[in-house]
Structure 1
Amino acid sequence: MNRWSKGVLAAVAGVTLAGCASQGTAPANPQDPWEGFNRKVFAFNDTLDRYAIKPVAQGYDFVTPQPVQDGVTNFFSNLGELRTILNSGLQWKWGNAGVATGRFLMNTTLGLGGFLDPATGMGLTEHEEDFGQTLAVWGVAEGPYVVLPVLGGRTLRHAGGLPADWYADPVSHVEEDSTRYGIRALDVVNYRASVLDQEKLIQGDRYSFLRDTYLQRRRFEINDGKTGEDPFANDDFDYDAGDFAQ
């Protein structure tokens, strides 16, 4: 499942799912030198999810038909194409910029504002790019893994790309605060509802599991799949590990 970073509230989606994880003792990981701090923040995000985001997502999932949820997912994914267009250009990936442009125009028009996804059916496959990936192409080092309050787990480089990604998100430019916050909240709740059934896939020490799957998937995305097949691209394990481990 592909998902864009869509602002502070939208980032809660991945963070809070990671919040389902409990703390535990795990071997030291050189990619996670701040693990002690990270686990404390992880516990905060767990509380946020358990008592706020997850119950709302469960209610939303119960009353909202699946086709409607799919339409909402498509809508936000379509907005994310604008960020892909920008970052593909910054990475000199003009072919992907063209595909993303075609997807956005087709889904916005034929897809009723993005709620449908006719572009995929016509062979225009989504391939996301964000500013964290752009920084990687520009040679910026990955940096350590860090869990941020509310925003959740990312590499330092990925976190550094968030301001540019938020600026590229059209929702960030909605002037009316109540409308903007409402759109953000819908995005968060819809995404959280979409991964409710996938929590059972977490095994062992959940903090370590989510951190490691995030790092593996993130590197796969940055290398454009050149390191091999995506280990998470199957029917039983189809969440976006990057978001899931936020």
Structure 2
Amino acid sequence: MAANLYLIPNTLGPGEIHTVIPQGILPVIHSLKVFFAENIRNARRFLISTNIPTPIDDLLFLELNRHSPDEKLQEYLKIMLDGEDAGILSEAGMPAVADPGAGLVRMAHLSGIRVRPLCGPSSVILALAASGLNGQKFAFHGYLPIHTGVREKTLRELERESEQRGITQAFMETPYRNRALFDSVLRACRPDTLLCVACDLTLESEWIRTMPVADWKKNRPDIHKRPAIFLLFR
């Protein structure tokens, strides 16, 4: 009989796990013996921090990333079709949202495997809720183009769509490129466009602010190498 595929939330950074991971989901996590992980070392460390009773070396960890071919996903699928419950662990936050896992989740649905998301932190949803921007209509674009010219053209297009359709536009960047993305927003977007920067979500250093672009030019935040979500709205 087909088993369950659990989507396991990870923390968004260092800190006490009990402050962000609901204690009620730990028995489910502790019942699993198979984990599909973006980063196996990180996954092992996370599970140890939950005080999982099973010896860590007795668990099966299988790598799942954006390069995992369909053939490998079929092998993972067979484990669950043979009756073994399994979980997907992201490196941070919820799996399959701006992280690997969607392909395996889709295949699980098509194969009759029950997909069960567990409650936990999602940086995109936390940032949107705290931004004060439109939470009824929004789009998450993941990583914008790296090339400066293309990135700024994309930002102008997102700004225009936000104005025309009332959509909050959310996106992110690798933390060490935050400054480059922030500078692109200031160059590409109009002075009265609202920008929210939400960084270090759930951490002690958490910092969230929404202001017009014109005000950001006078108040540049220190966001270098800090995980952040950016949101635009007109």
TM over 0.5: no
**Normalized against structure 1, the TM-score is what?**
0.26
More strand by share: 2
Question: Whose RCO is larger (CA < 8 A, sep 6+)?
Answer: 1
**Normalized against structure 2, the TM-score is what?**
0.26
More helix by share: 1
